[in-house]
């Protein structure tokens, strides 16, 4: 019998990483006529991911506490610092991702990286290239992931290919107004009233090892900044906690206003001047607004490497 291969996204799973695991498993099982590819998640999923799974009638993928000694394909990440527990001791079959490369492995493997807006765009493209069509529900799920990752195509990470794929998937999913549908997703994503402060900060949070030291960068997108304004003091307390308990150089929370297209940057740092210089901002009480700042991956992370 074939060995199982788990397809798994990064820790603190977001919609793209979960939808990529589900859709790539579907794609591989289809073209190889097997059922050995199994989507998995390394932890609790965020709200818009649960919302999209429910909307398009997908079961929650298997939750793996550790991937040690398992066959895995990494989707939507390639850094071990973001991978599921045990990834260093897993048998990695391949990587499918759209982030900067920070990966080493002792064997040749499939390594597919594209500078596109979402991992799901890469998978949709694989279907289309083979003249295959994802099912209506799967198209809806992938579309949701691409819309969130590209902030409804507004993010500088969004390419012309992503836009074409969005149109195609919307067509298959029979979603007439994808912009309106995307805003719905962001409303779910940013309705923070029922989340604890820790959940808000960690809902889309990643660790990085930069030359200056360990960084944690969280991002929340919202169509309603006021909701965060009232929680600002608590948010600062939380990022300070994270910084002190985890031996961080810096912990940043980006609160991104998707309507006005800019971000509030909240930071606790050993060297605030370094953050100011890198992001071309001026902190006042550890926070600053930067117009046009939408992408952690493209506009923040590269400044610290």
Footprint of Mn ion (CB under 5 A): 16, 76, 119, 149
CB of 76 to Mn ion, least distance (A): 4
Q: Would you call 147 helix, strand, or coil by DSSP?
A: helix
CB of 119 to Mn ion, least distance (A): 5
Of 222, 301, 297, the closest CA to residue 263 belongs to 222
Looking at beta carbons only, is 26 or 149 nearer to Mn ion?
149
Looking at beta carbons only, is 119 or 222 nearer to Mn ion?
119
Looking at beta carbons only, is 42 or 269 nearer to Mn ion?
42
CB of 289 to Mn ion, least distance (A): 25
For residue 17, give Cα distances in angstroms to 41, 59, 86. 8, 15, 18
For residue 265, give Cα distances in angstroms to 126, 128, 150, 204, 269. 36, 39, 19, 15, 12
Q: What single DSSP character describes residue 284?
A: B
CA distance 186 to 166: 16
Task: Give the residue at shortest CB distance from Mn ion.
Answer: 16
CB of 43 to Mn ion, least distance (A): 16
CB of 259 to Mn ion, least distance (A): 22
Tokens 């597919």 belong to: 112
CB of 2 to Mn ion, least distance (A): 28
CA distance 146 to 152: 8
Looking at beta carbons only, is 208 or 236 nearer to Mn ion?
208
CB of 149 to Mn ion, least distance (A): 5
CB of 219 to Mn ion, least distance (A): 12
Please give the structure tokens belonging to residue 114: 């594209």
**Rounded to 5 degrees, what are φ and ψ at 125?**
-60, -35
Question: Could you tell me which residues are beta bridge partners of residue 113?
Answer: 97
CA distance 9 to 22: 10
CA distance 12 to 14: 6
Looking at beta carbons only, is 149 or 238 nearer to Mn ion?
149
Looking at beta carbons only, is 13 or 216 nearer to Mn ion?
13
Looking at beta carbons only, is 76 or 238 nearer to Mn ion?
76
Looking at beta carbons only, is 155 or 269 nearer to Mn ion?
155
For residue 224, give Cα distances in angstroms to 31, 101, 192, 193. 43, 34, 10, 12
Q: Would you call 97 helix, strand, or coil by DSSP?
A: strand
DSSP string, 213-273: EEEEEEEEEES-THHHHTTHHHHHHHHHHHHHHTT-SEEEEEEEETTTTEEEEEEEES-HH
For residue 115, give Cα distances in angstroms to 20, 99, 169. 16, 7, 19
């Amino acid at each position: 019998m074939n060995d199982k291969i788990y397809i798994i996204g990064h820790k603190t799973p977001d919609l793209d990483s979960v939808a990529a695991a589900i859709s790539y498993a579907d794609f591989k099982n289809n073209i190889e006529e097997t059922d050995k590819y199994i989507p998995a998640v390394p932890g609790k999923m965020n709200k818009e991911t649960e919302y999209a799974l429910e909307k398009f009638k997908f079961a929650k993928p298997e939750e793996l506490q550790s991937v040690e000694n398992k066959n895995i394909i990494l989707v939507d990440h390639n850094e071990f610092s973001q991978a599921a527990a045990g990834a260093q001791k897993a048998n990695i079959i391949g990587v499918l991702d759209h982030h900067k490369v920070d990966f080493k492995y002792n064997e040749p493997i499939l390594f597919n990286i594209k500078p596109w807006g979402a991992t799901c765009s890469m998978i949709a493209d694989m279907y289309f290239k083979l003249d295959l069509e994802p099912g209506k529900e799967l198209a809806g799920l992938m579309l949701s992931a691409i819309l969130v990752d590209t902030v409804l195509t507004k993010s500088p990470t969004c390419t012309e290919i992503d836009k074409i794929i969005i149109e195609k998937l919307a067509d298959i999913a029979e979603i007439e107004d994808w912009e309106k549908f995307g805003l719905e997703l962001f409303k779910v994503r940013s309705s923070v009233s029922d989340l604890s402060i820790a959940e808000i900060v960690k809902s889309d949070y990643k660790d990085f090892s930069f030359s200056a030291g360990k960084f944690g960068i969280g991002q929340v997108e919202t169509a309603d900044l006021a909701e965060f304004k009232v929680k600002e003091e608590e948010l600062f307390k939380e990022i300070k906690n994270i910084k002190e308990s985890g031996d961080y150089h810096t912990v940043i929370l980006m609160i991104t206003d998707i309507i006005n297209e800019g971000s509030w940057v909240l930071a606790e740092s050993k060297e605030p001047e370094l953050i100011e210089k890198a992001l071309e901002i001026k902190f006042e009480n550890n926070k600053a607004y930067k117009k046009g700042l939408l992408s952690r991956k493209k506009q923040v992370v590269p400044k610290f490497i």
